[in-house]
Amino acid sequence: MSDSLPTVGILGGTGKEGSGLALRWAKNGYSLIIGSRTPERAAQAAEDLRAKVPGVNVRGADNADTAREADIVILTVPHEAQLATLEGLKDQLKGKVLVDATARVDWRKPKPPEGKAAARMAQDLLGPDVRVVSAFQNIPASALVRPETKLESDVLVCSDDPEARAEVVRLAEGAGMDAYEAGGLDNGIVVEGLTALIIIMNKRYKSNACGIRMTGVVK
């Protein structure tokens, strides 16, 4: 990766969260590859993004090409599809940073997930040649898609690789978010659990954009 901005590949980039993130990076000058199981849907999502952000360098691809050709890869598929999606991408992801936004939470029946962090499962599956980072689980898609809205939710970034962690903090900041390093990959379970609490609070307080911000931190 050169000093210029990395090309961001988004696996499941046609979904709400993925396309919301893509919009934010596009607005900030990043090149993008929108990945999907269905290349036609990816191409359509790329076209939609170009309509919103004229001049953006974006194209659609299947998930395998997206993983192979991007400098840094974001996973935003539904949690049920997380491991199956990654299973087929081990070779393409070798040597890369994979940012896993998976939260194992059922929005219809939200509760904190138990056991390992989703991103730890991804790391176990992909092996040591891929540097997995957990991030973006809590960013409300409803806010992402309104690019004029300043994002009020902070990104907590967990990874066992300090360099990858710092890189993803910069990437989140590059999309206009505040981001903080929050330790090792296993800590992702807390951020996933927060996703459950945020869904519960959205219901309780009739919101669709609950989130959390850090306080008391000076970077």
Shortest distance in whole angstroms from residue 11 CB to a second copy: 26
3-class secondary structure, 7 = coil
Q: Quick one: which segment of 12-20, 25-33, 121-129, 181-189 binds a second copy (CB under 8 A)?
A: 181-189
- Beta strands 97-100 and 72-75 are parallel
Q: Quick one: which segment of 51-59, 64-72, 80-88, 182-190 binds a second copy (CB under 8 A)?
A: 182-190
**Does 182 interact with a second copy (rule: CB under 8 A)?**
yes
Considering beta carbons, is residue 31 or 137 the nearer one to a second copy? 137
Per the rule left: phi > 0, alpha: psi between -120 and 50, beta: everything else, 206 is left
The 190-209 contact track toward a second copy, x by CB under 8 A, reads x--xx-xx--xx--xx-xxx
Per the rule left: phi > 0, alpha: psi between -120 and 50, beta: everything else, 216 is left
3-class secondary structure, 131 = strand
Torsion sign over Cα 47, 48, 53, 56: negative
Considering beta carbons, is residue 12 or 211 the nearer one to a second copy? 211
Shortest distance in whole angstroms from residue 78 CB to a second copy: 21
**Does 111 interact with a second copy (rule: CB under 8 A)?**
yes
3-class secondary structure, 158 = strand
CA–CA distance from 136 to each of 3, 101, 205 (Å)? 24, 5, 22
**Does 51 interact with a second copy (rule: CB under 8 A)?**
no
Shortest distance in whole angstroms from residue 109 CB to a second copy: 11
List residues near a second copy by CB under 8 A: 110-112, 140, 143, 152-153, 156, 180-184, 186-187, 189-190, 193-194, 196-197, 200-201, 204-205, 207-219
